[in-house]
Amino acid sequence: MIINLHLENPEKRKLTSISDDLRKGAVYIFPTDTVYAIVADANSKEGTEKVYNLKKLDKKKPLSLLCKDISMASQFIEYLPNEAYRLMKKITPGPYTFILKANKMLPKPCIIHHKDKHIGIRFPDHIYLQELLKIHDSPLTSTSVITDDEYLTNVEDLNSQFGEKVDGIVDGGLILLEPSTIIDFTGDQMIIIREGKGIEKI
């Protein structure tokens, strides 16, 4: 099912319906500020397992956590270095994944997939996800939509590959392929793991 939302004022009624579905274990595909992503409620064991099965992911591979803001993310972080906090304040929301040490408050469905106690956190700069997170008010697990090492960047291909496997695909139009910049703050100093979109702002 393809879902169309207003580009500037996404319909709250539709987003509330999606939020309700996610809490019940549904999975959706959403556009982000980098690529399309499969999302589920981070607190839903059923939804999280669906994401792993859809992508045929190794259960040891962690998913990213999409958060509304730094305040939400801080609930799941063992320690947020001052350098990381200042950078987050400066460049988020945006196309960045921050790798940090997770604490025991990490949603239970995520804990079993994060044996190294690290978590990738994103604050996506896309109005659809931002408005959803305001309504949903809990983090989402997320992974990029990719098949055979190729990112799917338009709704037609997404619908062909996943239309019958997910509960809905939110139409974000054609997305240019620009993976996120990955920044690791788990050690003594910041390390850029991958240079991607937005690297010039760091």
pLDDT tens-digit series, residues 97-130: 999 999 988 887 776 566 668 899 999 999 999 9
The answer to whether residues 168 and 28 touch, using CB atoms and an 8 Å cutoff, is: yes
What residue ranges of the chain have pLDDT lower than 50? none
Token pair 């055979």 is at which residue?
148
Instruction: Look at residue 108 in the predicted model and tell me its pLDDT.
Output: 78
Q: How far apart are CA 117 and CA 100, in angstroms?
A: 9
User: Taking the alpha carbons of 47, 50, 56, 59 in that order, is the dihedral positive or negative?
Assistant: positive
Instruction: Look at residue 111 in the predicted model and tell me its pLDDT.
Output: 62
Instruction: Look at residue 113 in the predicted model and tell me its pLDDT.
Output: 61
What residue spans of 24-78 are helical by DSSP H? 45-55, 70-74
What residue spans of 61-197 are helical by DSSP H? 70-74, 82-91, 108-111, 127-136, 155-162
Instruction: Look at residue 112 in the predicted model and tell me its pLDDT.
Output: 59
- Number of CB atoms found within 10 A of residue 59's CB: 11
Instruction: Name the token pair of 149.
Output: 């090492």
Q: CA angle at residue 163 from 8 to 178, to 5 degrees?
A: 55
> The sheet that has 96-101: what strands, in order across it?
2-3, 168-170, 28-31, 36-41, 140-144, 64-66, 118-122, 96-101, 181-184, 191-194
Q: What is the pTM of this model?
A: 0.93
Q: Which domains does the chain have, with CATH numbers?
A: 2-201 (3.90.870.10)
